[in-house]
Amino acid sequence: MPLESTVRIVQELAQRGYNADREAVTLLAGASHPQQAIERAVETAPDDMLVLTAEHVKETIENDSQSRDFATDTSTNQSTETPNSGPSTASVNNPSLSTGTPSQKSPDTGGNPPVEMGGSSESGRSTDQRSLTVSGDIKSTGTGEYGDFVSVFRDRYKNLSGKLRGRVNHRPTDAIAKQSDGSDAAIVGMVSEIRSTSGGHWRIELEDTNGTIPCLIMNDREFADEARELLCDEVIAVEGNVANRSGDDPIIFVDSLYFPDVPRTFRPSTADRPVQAALISDVHVGSEEFLADAWHRFTDWLHTEEADPIEYLLIAGDMVEGVGVYPNQDEELDIIDIYDQYEQFSEYLKEVPGDIEIVMIPGNHDAVRLAEPQPAFDEELRNIMSAHDARISANPSTVDIEGVSVLMYHGVSLDELIAELPDDKATYEKPHHAMAQLLKKRHVAPQYGGMTRVAPEAEDHLVIEEVPDIFHTGHVHKLGYGTYNNVLSINSSCWQAQTDFQKSVNLSPDVGYAPIVQLDTLELTIRQFT
């Protein structure tokens, strides 16, 4: 008896409002009469059961084979659909990105203790070895007043300057302004202005809590290349000499430049067992360009034996296409009501095996405020997406999976970095280079006032307080991966074909890829479902 296509079974169950564990789906697929088995499993499911468990399916199949002879029941014949060709539909391209040997994570201060989000798994598979905590969910306290902007920048400065203080013998700007001409000077400051001079040098203005001081970086210095990475509002440290001649304003001639950065000695932590996580983003359900077929192939594959080690699925924003995100976006909408889009997304989510833990954060197309940090989906949206008991958190959030920390950030600031920085530092073709810049600046949205909207809050939640083991973003609809000082950075493509806008700006998206991380080795495999 050939196995029924698991995707057909999953879809049938989804139509009836059920999600199912992988093993449950396998059992149904292997039943002598899968269609009847589905009907019976659904009929006999307890009222509060949203995810059909393997145990439940086993019981129904056993009971049925004892009490009924399905072979005589012709009204419910097997589907004549051709079974899906199985795992081979997923073409495999293995970058086998090795990220060094497992070892202790280097100590890094700061950061709130992670908050247990609770949540249960109704899985029929063994889940007792799992551990998943999500931190970063915010309660917005900002009122949008001027005072909030002051406090969010103070907090950013306090936090990031703390990472630089030990590295330079710094003094406040007003003290440096009084130093004698030619004396050594070091300062930790926020970049408040960047100008290139007529001679091709850089003149940057650095600000601390006492004032500002101009600094000159000469283009023949070995670190001049790093000056090309500078963005306004980031926090750096410089060392040099102060020029302080009477009649002129004091200025620092820079000899060295420091970023908060990831220590070169950083070594990522790994999980204790061979378990995997799939990292995706930008599903864009509700768009005419949403690629349902690729999604089905992906979820179908998740039900195969090959995908057995995948126990976690992270989705870094843009679940749906949303409404009114960009001008003329409505012309390409398949579903025009945003709540209907989430209903549909929830249906697609039901195809994901019920025993995979899902973590979701919002993106700029989602129905939460646009300014970052973006709070998690509200109750109404959670209720719509409740079939799969996903952990729902803010953008950005840090997820700890069995000892491996993953910083999830949707990625709107990547557009800005790519626009502002020279091509050898950040392009759409290599989004992981832009991600490296964020890690180096230890902030997911360093520049304020451009494309990235930043919400004024009492604290700056966008600071990368602790170095993550994995950095996961999306948004630019490009696949990119690499390591930066041993941090595995992954930008996870999308499930939406090229839109009219993307065509107009020559952005050709990478579609239908699922980067998969082996959490005990941090090895990466890219699977394609288009």
Q: Can you give the binding site for ligand D5M, defined by CB under 6 A?
A: 282, 318, 326, 364-365, 415, 475-477, 501-502, 507
Least distance to ligand D5M from the beta carbon of 420, Å? 14
Least distance to Zn ion from the beta carbon of 281, Å? 8
Q: Which residues in 181-220 contact Fe ion (CB under 5 A)? A: none
**In contact, 363 and 410? CB cutoff 8 Å:** yes
Least distance to ligand D5M from the beta carbon of 364, Å? 5
Between 304 and 395, name the residue whose CB sits nearer to ligand D5M: 395
Least distance to ligand D5M from the beta carbon of 409, Å? 13
Residue 229's binding partner, choosing from ligand D5M, Zn ion, Fe ion, none, with beta-carbon cut-off 5 to 8 A by kind? Answer: none
Per CB under 5 A, which region of 33-41, 318-326, 381-389, 393-401 contacts Zn ion? 318-326
Please identify the residue of the shown chain whose CB is closest to the bound ligand D5M: 326
From CA 135, how far away is CA 130, in angstroms rounded? Answer: 17
Which residue has tokens 């440096």? 176
54 CB-contact burial (10 Å; exposed 0-12 / middle 13-18 / buried 19+): buried
Q: What is the 3-state secondary structure (H, E, C) of 400-463?
A: EECCEEEEECCCHHHHHHHHHCCCCCCCCCCHHHHHHHHHHHCECCCCCCCCCCECCCCCCCCE
Q: Please report whether residue 364 would count as binding Zn ion according to CB under 5 A.
A: yes
The residue count of the chain comes to 530
Residue 431's binding partner, choosing from ligand D5M, Zn ion, Fe ion, none, with beta-carbon cut-off 5 to 8 A by kind? Answer: none
**In contact, 315 and 81? CB cutoff 8 Å:** no
- DSSP-based three-state secondary structure for 95: strand
For the chain, helix (H) and strand (E) counts, in that order, are: 13, 20
Between 239 and 282, name the residue whose CB sits nearer to Fe ion: 282
Residue 326's binding partner, choosing from Zn ion, ligand D5M, Fe ion, none, with beta-carbon cut-off 5 to 8 A by kind? Answer: ligand D5M
Measure Cα distances from 342 to 22, 103, 420 in Å: 23, 41, 34
Residue 21's binding partner, choosing from Fe ion, ligand D5M, Zn ion, none, with beta-carbon cut-off 5 to 8 A by kind? Answer: none
Residue 286's binding partner, choosing from ligand D5M, Zn ion, Fe ion, none, with beta-carbon cut-off 5 to 8 A by kind? Answer: none
- 349: nearest Cα among 338, 360, 337: 360
Least distance to ligand D5M from the beta carbon of 363, Å? 6
Residue 228 DSSP code: T
From CA 136, how far away is CA 462, in angstroms rounded? Answer: 10
Q: Please report whether residue 318 would count as binding Zn ion according to CB under 5 A.
A: yes
Return contacts of 301-308, CB within 8 angstroms, 24+ apart: 301/87, 301/89, 301/90, 301/527, 301/529, 302/22, 302/278, 302/352, 302/353, 302/356, 303/6, 303/7, 303/10, 303/22, 303/25, 303/26, 303/353, 304/6, 304/86, 304/87, 305/87, 306/87, 307/22, 308/22
Least distance to Fe ion from the beta carbon of 509, Å? 9
**In contact, 234 and 164? CB cutoff 8 Å:** no
Q: Please report whether residue 287 would count as binding Zn ion according to CB under 5 A.
A: no
Between 244 and 493, name the residue whose CB sits nearer to ligand D5M: 493
Q: Please report whether residue 363 would count as binding Zn ion according to CB under 5 A.
A: yes
Residue 507's binding partner, choosing from Zn ion, Fe ion, ligand D5M, none, with beta-carbon cut-off 5 to 8 A by kind? Answer: ligand D5M
Radius of gyration, alpha carbons of the chain:
26
Q: Please report whether residue 395 would count as binding Zn ion according to CB under 5 A.
A: no
Least distance to Fe ion from the beta carbon of 329, Å? 12
Q: Pick from 4, 207, 208, 282: which binds Fe ion (CB under 5 A)?
A: 282
Q: Pick from 208, 261, 300, 318: which binds Fe ion (CB under 5 A)?
A: 318
Binding mask 216-245 for Zn ion (x = CB under 5 A): ------------------------------
Size of interface with Zn ion, in residues (CB under 5 A): 4
Least distance to ligand D5M from the beta carbon of 57, Å? 38
Q: Pick from 40, 441, 475, 478: which binds Zn ion (CB under 5 A)?
A: 475
Structure tokens at 50: 């949203």
Least distance to ligand D5M from the beta carbon of 282, Å? 5
Residue 476's binding partner, choosing from ligand D5M, Fe ion, Zn ion, none, with beta-carbon cut-off 5 to 8 A by kind? Answer: ligand D5M
Percent helix, percent strand, percent coil in the chain, to nearest 5: 25, 25, 50
Residues engaged in binding Zn ion (CB under 5 A): 318, 363-364, 475
